[in-house]
Each structure stands twice: as C-alpha cells, then as structure tokens.
Amino acid sequence: KCGRIGLLALGCDSGYNALQIAANFPEVDVTIVEANRNTLIHAMVMAQNYQLDNVCFHASSLEALDDEKIFDIIECGTFLNYVDDVNSTLHQLLEHLSNDGIVRMELNNAKAQAQYSALREFVSERGLTPVTDHARALRQAVMADRGNDWRAVMSSSWFYQTAQLLNTLFIAQRAFTIADIRQLCRLHELNLLAVSQGHQLATGNNPITANDTAPHFDIWCEKPALAMGQLLLVKPGRKM
C-alpha cells in the first residue's frame, strides 16, 4: 500500500508490540487506546524514550474514537474475551476498519478451559488471591502437588507469566471453539486468513484443530473490499 498506514491497537496493556511497530515502521501511524491509566502512562513514557512521533494515545475505550476514523490494521489482542456482547463490539470495531483491512484477534481456546477450571478450584481451596506473591505461591503449590496431574499446565508458557496467569484464574473471560470462530467470521463477513495456536499455523484450506494446552487462538481476518451485505442487485442491461 502506498502512503501512510493506520494501525489501531485496542486494549494493548503496556503497548509494547504497538510501539515496536511504530519504531520499526515509521510509515505506520499507530493509535493506542487503553482504558487502564497506569498502563497507558507506561506506554506514553516508552514512546517518549524512543522519540516516536508516529504514535498517539487515547485514555478511553472504543466508544471514544471519532466515528470517521478509519484504520488499515486493527490489533485488538485479547479485548473481545472480556466484553459482554462480542458481536456488537466486533461490529463497532469493524466500522473503523478499511475495506481490505486486516484485524487480528486473540481469542481464548474453549478446549483448554477444563484445565483452567481445575486450577481455579485448586487456587480457591488454598485461599489464594490475584496478587503477585500468590502467583509465586501457586506455582510452588502446583509443582509440589502429587494428587493431580498438572503436566499440561506446567508445560504451558502462560503458567510462568504472572500477569497472564492471574488474568486466566481471576478475571471472568469468554472462550471460543473453532466453530465459534468460523461463525464469528461468517456473521461479520470476514475472510479468515490464518489461525495460529502455539507453534501450529493453519492457513487457506489447511484444517484448523484445537489442542488442550494452548490458551488462545491468534486470528487474522480480512474485511473484504465489498462485503456481501453491500452488494447491489443489478437488472440485466442496467449499468452501475
């Protein structure tokens, strides 16, 4: 694409990935929207330290964006896992995506939720709460436990990332199956370009399968230049 490229990073926490893009691709104008004031301030300080002039910040939610603002790429990360109405939120999000634009979503894997439920019960029995010290205590308790099989949990990278561990166990989230993802794409007239899960990548006609341990799917979709809902019926002989 010629000219400037607009990227929206929604609910991006510290904004590390978005700022890396801004630093390495000066032709990309990055807009970061984050409702958490502390993480937004951290991202702003990082941008200032790197002397980035192609980044702007909004301490708000999606609703605060200018209705006319359109982006070529939308990175919404795990945002959709926490909303009350996924379809309404995604529809609103896609109003800001250009035709032929790309949206990336990080959706929780429903098949992996069984191990999370067992781990939540384990946490509840020990009276642990969502604080950093308790995350360390939880890891130690799981590693010392001989009454349950935690091998799948302990082999997962999220178990060793404190923020992701605490979010998984203590914050209510949605989870999605492969069928849910396909339905979401059909409903919003998106082309499903690729799905990755851990080190597995499915593209094109390759089969998409879910495994038990990967906590989420990384989804890349394209908004068609002319969605099916926008097609006009043309009578024979009539010019458009």
Sole residue written with tokens 């999606």: 62
Q: How far apart are alpha carbons 18 and 104 in whole angstroms? A: 13
**Could you read off the pLDDT of 187-240 as tens digits, one per residue?**
999 999 988 876 666 665 565 665 656 778 899 999 998 654 544 433 344 333
Mean residue pLDDT across the chain: 83
Return the CA Rg of the chain. Answer: 20
**Could you read off the pLDDT of 39-81 as tens digits, one per residue?**
888 889 999 999 999 999 988 777 777 777 899 999 998 889 9
DSSP state of 81: G
Could you tell me which of 58, 65, 54 has the C-alpha nearest to residue 24?
54
The pTM of this model reads: 0.78
| pLDDT score of 117 | 81
Beta-bridged to residue 33, according to DSSP, are: 10, 58
CB atoms within 10 A of CB 195: 22
Residue 50 and residue 19 in contact, taking contact as beta carbons nearer than 8 Å: yes
